[in-house]
Amino acid sequence: MKTTITVALLMTLMMSAGCASTGEKAKTFELTGNPMITDKWTADPAPMVHDGTLYLYVGHDEWYEGQDEAGGGQEFNITEWLCYSTRDMKTWTDHGSVLKPTDFSWGIGEAWASQVVEAGGKFYYYVTAMASEPYNSRLVGVAVSDSPTGPFVDALGKPLVSDDMTPNGPRGWWNDIDPTVLIDAEGTPWMCWGNGTCFIVKLKRNMIELDGPIEILRMPGFIEGPWLDRHDDLYYLSFASRGEGGETISYATAPSMEGPWTYRGRLTGMAENSFTIHPGIAEFKGQSYLFYHNATLTLDGIAGRIGRRSVCVDYLYYLPDGRMAWVEQTKEGITVPPKTAAEAALIQNPHQTEEVIVEKVGLDFMNQPRQPRQ
């Protein structure tokens, strides 16, 4: 018995030493406010709750020489997707890189906004990446894993959505970006994405094929970065919207994913020091959260800016009439207690509350002469 225990102890020590030497042991850190992550620039947050843990997937912004003078999308140098997790929103585990664009046979770079969704015990990673020939454009791909932290592998061997499947709108060959996926109450997966045009489509229940025609939601002020979620009996579509000098977050609601969608106005304002902003919403252990990014983090003397962003989180409150309360972006974030329902009801939205029915049209709409919006 003593020999058995000694051998078992030695094996445990050897395995622990092996993990430490290969860097397999994940690093943990305590949340101290916003930005959440302070050793890397991160962007486009995508939370997912599974089995008592909240996983947060982000793009990894990196600096390069000449970045501040670049434009036309070249100011972004997003090399990989990272994953973090928590069981209490206080202590976080850094799982490192879990996927790169080059993990796809067609991918050559640019790890733009993404989202992970669990279905049938598997985890599907919907991504934006730049593709090589014959695509030569940004597009939507999907990878799959048996674990929320990977390894993820290309589920199709080809893009899920490529540029030839959608008409080029105001953003040309990079309008197929920023996928978000939600499985509705009937078990039907839906995907929304777009840059300048808000596309929506059903997915088959295998999660890796389209199930019907791609349609367009003529969403007021839509720019990019949509996010689908459900609260009680309402569906929500939040997105980066047109602000005064930068992007804000606005949202719409619907009784079902089929619609009709109603635009409800702005949810939060522009991000500090960043033209872009990207919503990610999750309910975790009875509290709802809005994840987003700004550009306030300085690393090694290099300040944040449009291509060097930093993920943040603040409390999100749903009101009894289905609206979401205005979210004030704060430095303390969720390190302070949340508001009570009575306190949340008193939050004033500085922008006018709107209710505009959103028209849903087919792709041929984009080839027709435009009529001025009434």
The per-residue DSSP string of 7-57 comes to HHHHHHHHHHHHHHHHT-SPEEEE--SSSS--SSEEEEEEEEEETTEEEEE
Count structural domains, the chain: 1
Angle at 261 between CA 358 and CA 282, to 5 degrees: 130
Asked whether residue 346 is domain-assigned, the answer is yes
* Rounded distance between C-alpha atoms, residue 18 and residue 25, angstroms: 10
Per-residue pLDDT of the chain (374 residues; tens, 9 = 90+): 333 333 333 333 333 333 333 346 789 999 999 999 999 999 999 999 999 999 999 999 998 788 877 777 788 889 999 999 999 999 999 999 999 999 999 999 999 999 999 999 999 999 999 999 999 899 999 999 999 999 999 999 999 999 999 987 656 668 999 999 999 999 999 999 999 999 999 999 999 999 999 999 999 999 999 999 999 999 999 999 999 999 999 999 999 999 999 999 999 999 999 999 999 999 999 999 999 999 999 999 999 998 999 999 999 999 999 999 999 999 999 999 999 999 999 999 999 888 999 999 999 887 765 444 33
Whether 136 is covered by a domain: the verdict is: yes
Output the six-digit token pair for 186: 């009937």
Peptide bond into 35 cis (omega under 30): yes
Residue 14 in contact with residue 317, Cβ under 8 Å?
Answer: no
Residue 16 domain flag: no
Distances (CA, A) of 256 to 81, 182, 233, 321: 31, 12, 8, 16
Task: List the one residue out of 142, 239, 229 whose CA is nearest residue 197.
Answer: 239
The helix/strand/coil state of 171 is: coil
How far, in Å, CA of 325 to CA of 344, rounded? 7
Report the distance separating Cα 232 and Cα 319, nearest Å: 11
Q: The domain containing residue 122 runs over which residues?
A: 42-367
Residue showing tokens 């990019």: 224
| 315: CATH | 2.115.10.20
Report yes or no: 349 and 265 within 8 Å, Cβ to Cβ: yes
Tokens (6 digits) for 318: 């749903």
How far apart are the C-alpha atoms of 278 and 300, rounded to whole Å? 25
Distance CA 297, CA 309 (A): 7
**pTM for this structure?**
0.91
Residue 338 belongs to some domain of the structure: yes
Please say whether the beta carbons of 296 and 284 come within 8 A.
no
In a domain, 374, yes or no: no
| Lookup: tokens for 323 | 């609206």
Instruction: Please indicate, yes or no, if residue 37 is contained in any of the structural domains.
Output: no
Buried b (16+ CB within 10 A) or exposed e, 5-26: eeeeeeeeeeeeeeeeeeeeee
**19, part of any domain:** no
Q: Which uninterrupted H or E stretch holds 265?
A: strand 262-268
Closest CA to 324 of 292, 289, 294, 358: 289
CA distance 176 to 374: 27
Residue 51 lies in a domain: yes
Helices (H), ranges, the chain: 2-22, 341-345
Edge-to-edge strand ranges of the sheet holding 198-202: 180-183, 189-193, 198-202, 215-217, 360-362
